[in-house]
Chain A
Amino acid sequence: QKEVEQDPGPLSVPEGAIVSLNCTYSNSAFQYFMWYRQYSRKGPELLMYTYSSGNKEDGRFTAQVDKSSKYISLFIRDSQPSDSATYLCAMYTSGTYKYIFGTGTRLKVLA
């Protein structure tokens, strides 16, 4: 079983929709959670960074962590065609170099 599971998609939504992207994980020791956006032929770009459980909002993006369920989510409001990319979740524990990445969900926002 992988430490982090992420549906590969693709997920296709119409412009303006609310998008929900999710990851589940197995290691309850993870404390820090991140979402990256990766456009085709580019490197991952850090979108959201959260510590422990709760919500964090930044513009159209909301990151949610539920440590009791070992489940993290990224919500995108008013999705735009420019949001079309692969979204990677990542997580790690304090005191380790090992950042664990999901394999990514490919999102297509249709104009």
Chain B
Amino acid sequence: DVKVTQSSRYLVKRTGEKVFLECVQDMDHENMFWYRQDPGLGLRLIYFSYDVKMKEKGDIPEGYSVSREKKERFSLILESASTNQTSMYLCASSLARLYDSNQPQHFGDGTRLSIL
């Protein structure tokens, strides 16, 4: 089975802090994604990566950055946390390269982040 592991289930930070969310997958997937999930808004794509050191902006990249130094690990960085970034953050991975026939995404259990 695919395993996507997010380092923290719950996190509380203060406004202005730099926040790191870590995600690791064990299935050698090329693609990795970061979403945030908010009630009534569904899943919104923040960033994705289709290869090591490659990244592409999603629909809501403002205030976030990402890092992918190794294939299995994809980090989301909140440069200067703000209260409107309080949310559930979900990491996902999928097999196959960007412009081939993609496979479904597999998700981690999420990090519930509160910014005070």
Q: Can you list 15 pairs linking A and B with CB atoms under 8 Å apart?
A: A41-B112, A43-B4, A43-B109, A44-B90, A44-B107, A49-B104, A88-B43, A94-B102, A95-B100, A97-B48, A99-B105, A101-B42, A103-B41, A103-B42, A104-B42
| A-contacting residues, B47-102, CB 8 Å | 48, 50, 56, 90, 98-102
| Residue pair A92, B102 in contact (C-beta under 8 Å) | yes
**Which residues of the partner chain A approach B33 to less than 8 Å between Cβ atoms?**
97, 99
- Chain B interface (Cβ < 8 Å from any Cβ of A): 4, 31, 33, 40-43, 45, 48, 50, 56, 90, 98-102, 104-110, 112
**Which residues of the partner chain B approach A18 to less than 8 Å between Cβ atoms?**
none
| B-contacting residues, A52-99, CB 8 Å | 88, 90, 92, 94-99
Give the secondary structure class of A's interface. Answer: loop
| Residue pair A94, B101 in contact (C-beta under 8 Å) | yes
**Which residues of the partner chain A approach B50 to less than 8 Å between Cβ atoms?**
97
A36–B37 CA distance with the chains assembled, in angstroms: 14
Interface range for A: 20 to 34
Interface membership of A45, Cβ < 8 A:
yes
Interface membership of A32, Cβ < 8 A:
yes
Chain B residue at minimum C-beta to C-beta distance from A93: B102
Besides A42-B109, A42-B110, A94-B100, 20 other CB < 8 A contacts? A32-B102, A34-B104, A36-B107, A41-B110, A41-B112, A43-B90, A43-B108, A44-B107, A45-B107, A46-B106, A94-B102, A95-B99, A96-B102, A97-B56, A97-B102, A99-B33, A99-B105, A101-B42, A103-B40, A103-B42
| Residue pair B98, A97 in contact (C-beta under 8 Å) | yes
B110 to chain A minimum Cβ distance, whole angstroms, is 5
If the complex has contacts A43-B90, A43-B108, are A102 and B42 also in contact, measured as CB distance less than 8 A? yes
